[in-house]
Structure 1
Amino acid sequence: MFNHQKYGKQYFMPPTISYDWVKKETLEKAPTWCSVDLRDGNQALPIPMNLEEKLELFQLLVDIGFKEIEVGFPAASDTEFNLLRKLIDNNMIPDDVTIMVITQAREHIIRRTFEAIQGAPRAIVHLYNSTSEAQRRQVFKKSKEEIKQIALNGAVLVKELAEEAGGDIYFQYSPESFPGTEVDYALDICNSVLDIWKPTPDHKAIINIPTTVQIAMPHIFANQIEYIHKNLAYRDGVTLSIHPHNDRGSGVSDAEFGVLAGAERVEGTLFGIGERTGNVDLITLAMNMYSQGFDPELDFSQMNAIREKYEKLTRTEVHERHPYSGDLVFTAFSGSHQDAISKGMKYRQETNTEKWDVPYIPVDPVDIGRNYQADVIRVNSQSGKGGIGYILETNFGVKLPYKMNEAMGYATKKVSDQTSRELSAEEIYQVFRENYVEYHPNFELVDYYFNKGTGQEVTLTIQKEKEQIELQGKGAGSLDAISNALKAHFDIDYALEVYEQQSLGKDSAAEACAQIGISHQGEIYWGAGIHEDITAASVYALVVAVNRLEDALISQKETVK
């Protein structure tokens, strides 16, 4: 049975709550970012990365701009131990990057960890033990004091081994399973560990608060962090860090609220990979800052390349709707969305503004290596005239009149609906050509030439079925003369309602595209022509429009019969 009554509150509120963090609007300064892809991300993979893959990912993280990288759990496997030795022995760690290693608060594991980092230019030793009420009761069967002593014994040994090893070694402590731990108890353990390490502003320690398993709403976590921030010992000598997971789907909110509440450092992974539902996604966090106009101090300007390399190394696939990095995150299929985006893009071009506020697109795709044509507007049966017109204009230079754009939209959506798939830009252009450029079901223009008389006189040859027919016409201009010839032959009447044309290129030899709409009994019938000569393009457009009118008249006659 789906029984909600078996669940209940498992978290603990801090002794006092101030809600000062609520008064802040957004993250204006980047926290220290620490990637745990090589440790927390790697241990979540069905097939963990091998040594060469880990080295390649380490370099990717450096290239992005991470200054702190948790390289692994060197006591857990030979691969992770060897990775540390490879990086250190081959001087592969940049001067401005600090590696981190994690260890349980157990003596043999701590000693093996220090063997792995011997000779490192600078390293963080990350000590942890689980402190939650449930684990104390169910797993360890120990009291609060006994669990606290595990942390203190580990802190003492870490300090002793660091002094023996020499070098530039920093300490970090995490009360694992913090969400199920009494907040004042977790704070007491952290402060007791700090009493052993005695950090200073010149050589800080890190207190890292993980949401090992999310069991509360993000504002609860923020209240907990704010309490720790305000009551932490040696505060000017401590970097307060957070390590959000994503069990409730609120890893990003936990991280952002946690930083507002006083955290100065965030641990996470690219694309949020990690155990169960994963870690917080550092790309989303950094790009959220970027979208608000603040420097995240990480470089995601080549997002596709980063994603492709990450997928290759980890054998995982980034979801197409993943924030900022997925294939479809900038793509609009909805007609109303496409129309707004198209107008927004044109507004930017017309006003030459640098300010980005295009509807539905939170950041400029170009900033992260994407492009408008491929990413922003794509067409299926849900799309509308705005997006279809945008694709024709940006890809092929064809700018349709408003009402013709609407008709073209229906024609394109019909094809997509019938084929049950998305249409490419080339397929959309082909729909345009078939319906408005090459459409001659009733008659086709073979040839025409003009004779100058009292007005403009024309002789044109059309082919109707298998017969070629010569027509004569006269008018105020060349297009008027041809129109009059067609009206007389087909015994129809219409008005030239819309005439537009544009060049399809920038040089003098570029083709022109003309669009013509003729009206008959309140309906407009459209045609388009493409030719190097604008007069020829206009003539061809008129011929298609008249063909469409003939279609309608034939259909009316058949209906009457």
Structure 2
Amino acid sequence: MNSFDHRKYTPFAPIPMAKRRWPDQQIKQAPRWCSVDLRDGNQALIEPMNPKQKLALFKLLVDVGFKEIEVGFPAASQTDFDFVRQIIEQGLIPEDVTIQVLTQSREALIKRSFEALKGCRQAIMHLYNSTSTVQREQVFAKSKNEIKAIAVQGAQWVKQQAAQQPDTQWTFQYSPESFTGTELDYAVEVCDAVNAVWQPTKENPVIINLPATVEVATPNIYADQIEWMGDHIQHREAVVISLHTHNDRGCGVAAAELGVMAGADRVEGTLLGNGERTGNMDIVTMAMNLYSQGINPELDLSNMDKIIQTVTECTQLPLHPRHPYAGELVFTAFSGSHQDAIKKCLQRYQPGDHWDVAYLPIDPADLGRNYQEVIRINSQSGKGGIAYILEQDYGLQMPRWLQVDFSQYVQQYAEEESAEVSPASIYKIFEQSYIARKQPIELEAYQISRQQEQDQLSATITIDGQSTLINSSGQGVMEAFIGALNKQLGYNMVLVDYSEHTLGDNERSEAISYIQLNIENQRYCGVGKSKDIIEASLEAVLSAVNCAIPALKADVIPA
């Protein structure tokens, strides 16, 4: 075999189930969430968090709304032990928040874990041992009965230690680690044996956490496993089934969602998915998936930038710009057709409407993002996105024909620069392409009078630096000015379209005019800007004419 040979792997066997119920289920409410950022996430870091970072992240988790937070593995780390003591002794745990600690099924570690939790109002003691076939046979070299005995003995030690600290409201949690690689009948046998020690009731349930410690199959297989466990575990009414999925196959969120459909009550994960190997299930993504379906996630993710800043500072891990919901570019459209669709939908959307905007599954404003960030410009962008930027940032209401004309200038610039084009650069290109187009013809002055229901226009223009007086009349100033230019230049110019608006809301605001002319059977666009609306219109005409002249052989222009 060569070094890349798929034959060394075997497919995961499907779960024999006569009738699956979970595919017909729909998630209608958020599960119980438990953050494991401070334990599972922390142990996966190149440089584990220091006490200051752990406290900052803990406070963020509380602010976001987590009611269950795994704060560490105090028996395995003095830093974790000290942190647990700090948040207990300094009263930093809100009354409605339950902290959780993890321990292996070893007496000394269990005792140390309970020492860390002395004085805590309520806590979850999370016991685990590995049960998978590969772990039993190759790592521990123990039989099924021996592995089950480890779990049962650990449950007994946990129960004994909890009895010595009666002032704390205890919840017990058990994880058959590497559950997805464990035979289902054996997994339920071990969990039932643990529960036989703990004797859970509906009023005081235990948590049975079923982790995909390593993601070994497709998400539907995991859902089958969860549904099977829910159907076969004893005293289901006294058991909270919890999920803890990893992302080895890139399906951690999907597996958790399908697991909830299969009957799970609780989900463990981390903010933005930090964790061993490819990471833990990303609670931000799953919660926002629920949110996008009109379901209250019971977590406040509205200040996404603060979440990102805190998590990245504490973990020293960068966030991918395409990370779901949180990445810098996830609400950004570069494609011209996407931009145009977004622009049109946003123009129709009114606050209070149900959100239905092309290419945007949620409203970016819900996460503290600005609409200016939605549409950004590069060489793949089109007229709609460019027009949106100019309208949002500079108040320009470009007609469609001008959008089409202007997009070519921006695209050319983007291709030459091989980079994204900022809003300031777009506006600069706009000014240079139209408003600053003053050669070879420039307006010096004009006068208008009204005679016999006709506008009489007299204008002084310079052509290649030489001053010339032109005169004409027409049904309106525009017709008169275009007529005068036709006579002077010898062109056949026809007004195709025209629009104007002010750039402010008072009498001192500038006006801007957009014009499209047909000059010798070719269409040209122009823009003029002035505090005088008539002057802005005349400047727009000359902007279009100055665009046309290089293509129409400037030598026809009289000196």
SS in 1 for 2:349: helix
C-alpha distance 482-14 of structure 1, shift in aligned 2 (>3 A): closer
Find the counterpart in structure 2 of residue 507 from structure 1. 506
Partner residue in 2 for 1:118:
118
Alpha-carbon spacing, 1:8–1:555, altered in 2? closer, same or farther (3 Å): farther
- In structure 1, the residue matched to 2:348 is 347
Once the two structures are superposed, the pairs formed by residues 533-548 of structure 1 within 5 Å of their partners are: 533-548=532-547
Please say if residues 12 and 182 of structure 1, whose CA atoms lie closer than 8 Å, have aligned partners that are also in contact: no
Contact 1:13 1:224 in 2 (8 A): no
Measure, in 2, the Cα distance between the counterparts of 1:531 and 1:468.
Answer: 21
Match of residue 199 from structure 1: 200
The answer for the alignment partner of 1:76 in structure 2 is: 76
| Structure 2 residue aligned with 1:222 | 223
Contact in 1 for aligned 2:482/2:493 (Cα 8 Å)? no
CA contact (8 A) 2:256 2:267 kept: yes
Contact persistence 1:513–1:528 (CA under 8 A): yes
One-letter code of the match for 2:116? A
Query: Within 1, Cα distance between the matches of 2:145 and 2:421?
Result: 66
Q: Distance in 2 between matches of 1:126 and 1:236?
A: 20
- Tell me which residue corresponds to 1:324: 325
Task: Give the counterpart letter for 1:528 in structure 2.
Answer: V
- Give the AA of the match of 1:323: P
Shift of 1:556: 11
TM-score (ref. length: structure 1): 0.96
SS where residue 165 of structure 1 aligns? coil
Deviation digits for residues 41-73 of structure 1 (CA, Å, limit 9, x no counterpart): 111111111111111111100000000000000
Query: How much has 1:15 moved relative to structure 2?
Result: 5.5
Q: Which amino acid is 2:159 matched to?
A: K
Question: Following TM superposition, by how much is the alpha carbon of 1:390 offset from its aligned partner in structure 2, in angstroms?
Answer: 1.3
**Structure 1: where are the runs of 5+ without partners?**
none
Comparing 135-144 with 387-396, greater Cα deviation is found at 387-396
Partner of 1:491: 490
In the alignment, what sits opposite 2:313? 312
* Alignment correspondent of 1:418: 416
Compute the displacement of 1:313 (Å): 1.4
Separation in 1, partners of 2:358, 2:476: 44
TM-aligned CA deviation for residue 464 of structure 1 = 2.2
The alignment of Structure 1 onto Structure 2 pairs a total of residues equal to 552
- Structure 2 distance, partners of 1:353, 1:147, is 57
1:259 partner SS: helix
- CA contact under 8 A between 2:226 and 2:263: conserved in structure 1? yes
In 1, Cα distance between equivalents of 2:461 and 2:489:
12
Conserved? CA contact 1:14–1:183, under 8 Å: no
Do 1:12 and 1:179's aligned partners in 2 also have CA atoms closer than 8 Å? no
Matched residue SS, 2:127 = strand
- The residue matched to 2:553 in structure 1 has which SS? helix
Q: For the structure 1 residues 119 and 470, does the alpha-carbon distance in structure 2 shift closer, same or farther, using more than 3 Å as the test? A: same
Aligned partners of 1:495 and 1:179: how far apart in 2?
A: 75
Q: CA deviation at 1:14?
A: 4.4
Equivalent residue for 1:99?
99
1:520 shift after superposition: 2.8
d(CA) in 1 for partners of 2:486 and 2:212?
78
Shift in Å, 1:353 = 5.2
Kindly indicate whether residue 390 of structure 2 is the aligned counterpart of residue 392 of structure 1.
yes
Shift in Å, 1:512: 1.7
Worse-matched range after superposition: 90-99 or 461-470: 461-470
Counterpart of 2:256 in structure 1 is 255
CA shift, 1:310, in A, is 1.2
Question: How far does the alpha carbon of each residue in 1:186-214 deviate from its partner, in whole angstroms, 9 at most, with x for none?
Answer: 11100110011001111110000000001
CA deviations on 1:501-529 (whole Å, 9 max, x unpaired) are: 12222233322211010113442111011
Q: Give me the whole-angstrom Cα distance separating, in 2, the residues matched to 1:216 and 1:404.
A: 54
Deviation at 1:18, TM superposition (A): 2.8
- Residue in structure 1 matched with residue 89 of structure 2 by the alignment: 89
Shift of 1:17: 4.7
Name the structure 2 match of 1:481.
Answer: 480
Task: Map Cα deviations across residues 205-236 of structure 1 (whole Å, 9 max, x no partner).
Answer: 00000000011000000000000011111211
Per the alignment, residue 460 of structure 2 pairs with: 461
Deviation at 1:404, TM superposition (A): 1.4
**Residue among 386, 401, 414 paired with 2:399:** 401
Aligned partners of 2:394 and 2:366: how far apart in 1? 24
Structure 1 contact 443–463 (Cα < 8 Å) conserved: yes
Secondary structure in 1 matching 2:128: strand
1:147 is matched with 147
The residue number in structure 2 matching 1:290 is 291
> Partners of 2:503 and 2:175 in 1: how far apart?
63
Q: Is the 8 A contact 2:246 2:280 kept in 1?
A: yes
CA contact (8 A) 1:17 1:227 kept: no
Deviates more, 1:95-104 or 1:489-498: 489-498
Instruction: Report the equivalent of 1:133.
Output: 133
Contact 2:15/2:221 (8 A) holds in 1: no
Contact kept? 1:12, 1:180, Cα under 8 Å = no
Residue identity opposite 2:301 in structure 1 = F
2:33 matches 1:18: no
Report the Cα distance in structure 2 between the residues aligned to 1:63 and 1:15, rounded to whole angstroms: 43
In 2: Cα distance, 1:144 partner to 1:417 partner = 65
Task: State the Cα deviation string for residues 368-422 of structure 1 (Å, max 9, x = none).
Answer: 100101x210000000011111111222221122121101111111111111111
Query: Does the CA-based 8 Å contact 1:131-1:177 persist in structure 2?
Result: yes
Distance 1:478 1:435 in 2: 24
Could you say which residue in structure 2 is the equivalent of 1:366?
Answer: 365
Q: Using the alignment, how far apart are the partners of 2:415 and 2:522 within structure 1?
A: 25
* Partner secondary structure for residue 395 of structure 1: helix
Identity within the alignment, %: 48
- Tell me how far apart the structure 2 counterparts of residues 399 and 475 of structure 1 sit (CA, whole Å): 28
Amino acid across the alignment from 1:359: A
Structure 2 equivalent of residue 278 of structure 1: 279
Conservation of the 8 A alpha-carbon contact between 1:286 and 1:296: yes
Of residues 426, 429, 433 in structure 1, which corresponds to 2:427?
429
Q: In 1, Cα distance between the equivalents of 2:554 and 2:414?
A: 25
Shift of 1:258: 0.2
Return closer, same or farther for 1:280/1:555 CA change in 2, 3 Å cut-off.
Answer: farther
Q: Matches of 2:155 and 2:505 in 1, distance apart? A: 71
Give how far 1:476 is off.
2.5
Is the 1:17–1:223 Cα contact (8 Å) retained in structure 2? no
Question: Match of 1:411, SS?
Answer: helix
The CA deviation string for residues 151-183 of structure 1, in whole angstroms up to 9 with x for no partner, is 011001000110112121110000001111101
Whether the 8 Å contact between 2:56 and 2:310 is mirrored in structure 1 is: no
Relative to structure 1, the CA distance from residue 14 to residue 164 in structure 2 (aligned partners, 3 Å threshold; closer, same or farther) is farther
2-structure distance, mates of 1:69, 1:556: 79
The 2-side partners of 1:457 and 1:265 are apart by 80
Do the aligned residues in 2 keep the contact of 1:389 with 1:399 (CA within 8 Å)?
A: yes
Q: Is the 8 A contact 1:198 1:234 kept in 2?
A: no
* Contact 1:301/1:369 (<8 A) preserved: yes
- Listed one character per residue, the Cα deviations across residues 333-373 of structure 1 (whole Å, up to 9, x for unaligned) are 00111111011111214xx6511010000000011100101
Measure the CA separation in 1 of the matches of 2:226 and 2:554: 73
Aligned position for 1:7: 9
> Which deviates the most, 125-134 or 14-23?
14-23
Distance (whole Å) between structure 1 residues aligned to residue 137 and residue 472 of structure 2: 99
Alpha-carbon distance change, 15 to 527 in structure 1, aligned in 2, over 3 angstroms: closer
- Per-residue CA shift, 1:474-493, capped at 9, x if unaligned? 22322222212211111111
1:442-465: CA deviations, max 9, x gaps? 221122222444432222222222
Question: What is the CA–CA distance in structure 2 between the aligned matches of 1:116 and 1:33, rounded to whole Å?
Answer: 23
In 1, Cα distance between equivalents of 2:292 and 2:16:
36
CA distance in 2, matches of 1:333, 1:272: 27
Unaligned runs of 5+ in 2: none
